[in-house]
Amino acid sequence: MAHSFIRVPLFLGLAVLLAVCSGCSGSDSNDGSRAPTCSLASDPNILASPHTLYASPNDRYGIQAVESASSIQVAGSLDPSSYGVVDLNFTTCVDTAEYSGVSFRVSRFDSSTLGKMTLFADDLDDVAEARGGSCRPSSSATTYTDCSSTSAMLDIVGSSASLHKRWSDFTGGAPHFALFEPKLLRLVWVFGGESEPASVNFTIDQLEFF
């Protein structure tokens, strides 16, 4: 799959990296014939929702994401000007109507070598039918402008930060520019893009809806 990032400056690098999840549709059908079934997020613990976890680039010299009961440990290395991706793909679309946003802690993140971190939220209505969502682009040539995921820049001061992002903080999507009670297919963390090679070793934990 190609991810819908035309509305952010990182588009050229991310479109290639996120192709790793060609099978992460989050639906029962890949042909767009029916929308995914969404389950109400009754547990604020995001890792308690059935999901799969991907990392990219994920060869032996790339990024590895290892999940425990309460955290995601991210480690590996990045080539110059390349991006790392951690993709939490929900098995069933998650309806977040009872919540206002997402919160989590990032620990030991080296922004001097890994650059800014961005969190993308794939809402059912903003993901193209061909990727398991309900958005219908006017043509294959306009998929990225008609169907585009929202994102929020994460401000990590020092090596650690506790982050609380309301749905309205996620912008740049299409057909909906911002989120409102989204039905989530996946959450995607993106980092890197610096001019020098980078060592990766940080943790994401306390991952919850609020």
pLDDT (tens digit per residue) in 84-123: 999 999 999 999 999 999 999 999 999 999 999 999 999 9
Nearest to 94 by CA among 189, 190, 187: 187
Q: CA-to-CA distance for 51 and 89, rounded, in angstroms?
A: 5
Burial class (CB in 10 A: 0-12, 13-18, 19+), 174: buried
- Mean pLDDT over the full length of the chain: 84
- Tally of CB atoms within 10 A around 168: 13
Look at residue 44 and tell me whether its pLDDT is greater than 80. yes
Give yes or no for a contact between 127 and 147, defined as CB atoms under 8 angstroms apart: yes
CATH architecture of 11-209: Sandwich (2.60)
- The pTM (predicted TM-score) of the whole model is 0.83
The pLDDT assigned to 8 comes to 39
